Amino acid sequence: MMDQIQALEKKLAKLEIKIRETEKRLPAHSVKPQIMTELFELEDEYEALWSQLKALKAKPAVPKD
């Protein structure tokens, strides 16, 4: 389970970078729909991964025998 958590945390970190880079490409005026769509998709993916991570962390650790 720890491997899954670490993998999700890495994906979240990479997505955060992509989101910030996409936000930097947003012009002050006349925002292009493609950029907004990309940003929304990245944010949706981030939220989905965040939910998965929270669910994994909420599960009690099962001791190995």
Flag whether 21 is in a domain: yes
On whether residue 49 sits in a domain, the answer given is yes
User: Is the distance from CB of 15 to CB of 50 less than 8 angstroms?
Assistant: no
Count of domains for the chain: 1
> Residue 10's pLDDT is what?
97
Q: Is residue 7 part of a domain?
A: yes
Domain with 48, as residue range(s), is 2-58
Q: What is the 3-state secondary structure (H, E, C) of the chain?
A: CHHHHHHHHHHHHHHHHHHHHHHHCCCCCCCCHHHHHHHHHHHHHHHHHHHHHHHHHHCCCCCCC
Per-residue pLDDT of the chain (65 residues; tens, 9 = 90+): 789 999 999 999 999 999 999 999 998 888 889 999 999 999 999 999 999 999 998 987 766 66
65 inside domain: no
Residue 64 forms part of a structural domain = no
**Residue 60, pLDDT score:** 76
Is 45 a domain residue? yes
Give me the pLDDT at residue 18, please.
98
